[in-house]
Amino acid sequence: MALIKAALLGFGTVGQGVYEALKTHREQLKAVLGEEVVIEGILVKDGSKQRDVDEHVLVTTDFEEILQIEGLQIVFEAIVGEEPGFTYLSKALEKGCHVITANKVMFARHGRTLLDKAEKLERFVGFEATTAGGTPIIRSIAQLLQVNEIHSVEAILNGTSNYILTNMREKGLPFQDVLKRAQELGYAEADPASDIEGHDAFFKLMILSELSFGETPEWKDVERKGITDVTSEQIAVFKDWGFKVKHLARIRRDRDQFISSVKPVLVDAAHPLYGVEDVQNAIMVETSLAGKVTVQGAGAGKLPTASAMVEDLTYVLQSNSTFARKKKIAPFAAGSLAEEADRTLVGEYAVIGSSVGFHGTDGVDILKQEVKDDLVYLLIKCQASTAELLEENPDLVVYEVAGKVKEAWVQSEKKDLLLQKVINL
């Protein structure tokens, strides 16, 4: 039987997962492809580590040796950072290989260049594993929603953050302990700051934006916040109020502008992502014809991520084509928002401030309140004047209630003095 020769760049959590999946699912792959897939070479950084691989496999720290493998058809990439991943995959395409990557940092920055190169060379770039681990969102958008216009994407995109928030809430575990567990389970990035500070979810959102809209917002314009400031006390108060803290990545195109953010928000039981727990990710896509489509699955980990890469492999070898991509197209509703700079968001927010000098709640639309450890927790319905006040006080802890906030014109120049008094600004 003919062999399909492949190489692996990286042999950490994901690389080992791919190696294992190709072995445990050898028969299934043979049945689908009619040929056996064999890893011939593995690129690593540290050549001195022992690797548990078959004797015939070349393990090297020199990428040129990988490229010289005779008859190499597929390169799986699961290393870390923009470089050298981008250079390696560019060279692999030029050499005539199809490439399949899990590296979202690299792909968010260079995906378009790689896809263009692949198209010219009639090769394939698989990137299902870059976004939401084993959850099949990339091909759902690229292949199953080609005609639909996508209006918005709302998602939980970082498995580590969702795992931490779930375990803090449900088991009362401290942040650092759960993070350590997420690292042991292979969910976290090599530098977990990328997970807990929201960078990882940001990169994934940019990949989804490029795929859904054919473009991304200016990266600097996307509000990005991680979960490092979310405390056990906040989680407990919000739980009593019926909310969960979820780290949501959201993007919506409104005429010629994007509105996007990656940050912790409050969700109530009516929200579609309320039940997405632990390492699970979910992506809700709002479309012009199909309505709301939600895909959920394991967002991180060895085998779910390997699953995405191996499924990419079967796709390329069966169809021998690249993913369909949305071209940058004019959105349905014409008009510019440039002149609408005076808009703000109004609706429900949880606000936390010092309770010292707490004066009561007269005249402010306060839905819930609680004083705990010298802090006052307020659930407020925010008017335009209050929204301005919140925006101008970055030290104040503010959580948006997902689905309960909408845009409004800023008409009042006056600050809401009552709220100012209540939260002692």
Ligand X SMILES: NC(=O)C1=CN([C@@H]2O[C@H](COP(=O)(O)OP(=O)(O)OC[C@H]3O[C@@H](n4cnc5c(N)ncnc54)[C@H](OP(=O)(O)O)[C@@H]3O)[C@@H](O)[C@H]2O)C=CC1
Ligand Y SMILES: N[C@@H](CC=O)C(=O)O
How far, in Å, CA of 103 to CA of 105, rounded?
6
**DSSP 8-state assignment for residue 340:** G
126 binds, among ligand Y, ligand X, none (CB under 5 to 8 A by kind): none
* Cβ neighbours of 200 (radius 10 Å): 29
195 makes contact, choosing from ligand X, ligand Y, none, with CB < 5 to 8 Å by partner type, with ligand Y
Asked if 190 touches ligand X (CB under 6 A), the answer is yes
Nearer to ligand Y among residue 130 and residue 383 (C-beta): 130
Length of the chain: 425
- Does position 10 interact with ligand X (CB under 6 A)? The reply is yes
Among residues 40 and 189, whose Cβ is nearest to ligand Y?
189
Q: Which two tokens stand for residue 174?
A: 């401290």
Residue 396, contacted partner among ligand Y, ligand X, none, CB below 5-8 A by kind: none
372: number of Cβ within 10 Å = 13
Show the tokens assigned to 250. 């959201």
Contact between 195 and 176 under an 8 Å Cβ cutoff? The reply is no
DSSP 83-109: TTHHHHHHHHHHTT-EEEE--HHHHHH
By a kind-dependent CB cut-off of 5 to 8 A, residue 158 interacts, out of ligand Y, ligand X, none, with: ligand Y
Residue from 7, 21, 75, 78 that binds ligand X (CB under 6 A)?
78
* Least distance in angstroms from the C-beta of 94 to ligand X: 19
Q: Is 403 in the site for ligand X (CB under 6 A)?
A: no
Alpha carbon distances (Å) from 285 to 20, 143, 150, 208, 218: 32, 14, 7, 10, 21
Burial class (CB in 10 A: 0-12, 13-18, 19+), 396: middle
With contacts defined by CB under 6 A, name the span among 138-146, 182-190, 240-248, 290-298 that binds ligand Y. 182-190
Q: Answer for the pair 134, 297: CB distance below 8 angstroms, yes or no.
A: yes
User: Cα–Cα distances in Å, from 36 out to 30, 71, 235?
Assistant: 5, 14, 50
Q: How many C-beta neighbours within 10 Å does residue 391 have?
A: 13
As a whole number of Å, the CA-based R_g of the chain is 24
The answer to whether 85 contacts ligand Y (rule: CB under 6 A) is no
| Contact (CB, 8 A) for 63 and 91 | yes
> Contacting ligand X (CB under 6 A), which of 6, 18, 29, 43?
43
Please confirm, yes or no, whether 204 is among the known catalytic residues.
yes
Please identify, among the stretches 183-191, 266-274, 289-297, 377-385, the one whose residues bind ligand Y according to the rule CB under 6 A: 183-191
Per CB under 6 A, which of residues 275..334 are in contact with ligand X? 300-301, 305
Catalytic residue among 204, 244, 263, 326: 204
| 297 contact choice in ligand Y, ligand X, none (CB below 5 to 8 Å, kind-dependent) | none
Q: Rounded distance, CA 128 to CA 295, Å?
A: 13
CA distance 377 to 370: 5
DSSP H helices, 122-172, are: 137-144, 159-171
CA distance 150 to 285: 7
Tell me whether residue 189 or residue 388 sits nearer to ligand Y (CB atom).
189
Written as six digits, the tokens of 191 are 């530098």
Residue from 21, 75, 79, 251 in contact with ligand X (CB under 6 A): 79
Question: Binding ligand X by CB under 6 A: which of 4, 5, 6, 13?
Answer: 13
What element of type H or E holds 4? strand 3-9
Least Å from the CB of residue 130 to ligand Y: 7
Q: Among residue numbers 99 through 138, which ones bind ligand Y (CB under 6 A)?
A: 133
Among 135, 152, 160, 209, binds ligand Y (CB under 6 A): 160
Structure tokens at 21: 């999946």
Site for ligand Y in 252-311 (CB under 6 A): 299-300
Q: Is residue 89 a contact point for ligand Y (CB under 6 A)?
A: no
Binding residue for ligand X, selected from 29, 102, 295, 313, defined by CB under 6 A = 102
How many residues touch ligand Y under the rule CB under 6 A: the total is: 11
Query: For the chain, what percentages of helix, strand and coil (3-state, to nearest 5) are there?
Result: 35, 25, 35
Considering the complex, state which of residue 74 and residue 179 has its C-beta at the smaller distance from ligand Y: 179
Report the nearest approach of ligand Y to the CB of residue 271 (Å).
Answer: 20
Question: Residues 188, 211, 390, 418: which binds ligand Y (CB under 6 A)?
Answer: 188
Q: Which of 128, 154, 195, 348: binder of ligand Y (CB under 6 A)?
A: 195
Residues forming contacts to ligand X in the complex (CB under 6 A) are 10-15, 43-46, 49, 78-80, 84, 102-104, 129, 133, 186-187, 189-190, 300-301, 305
Residues forming contacts to ligand Y in the complex (CB under 6 A) are 133, 158-160, 187-189, 195, 200, 299-300
What residues act catalytically? Answer: 204
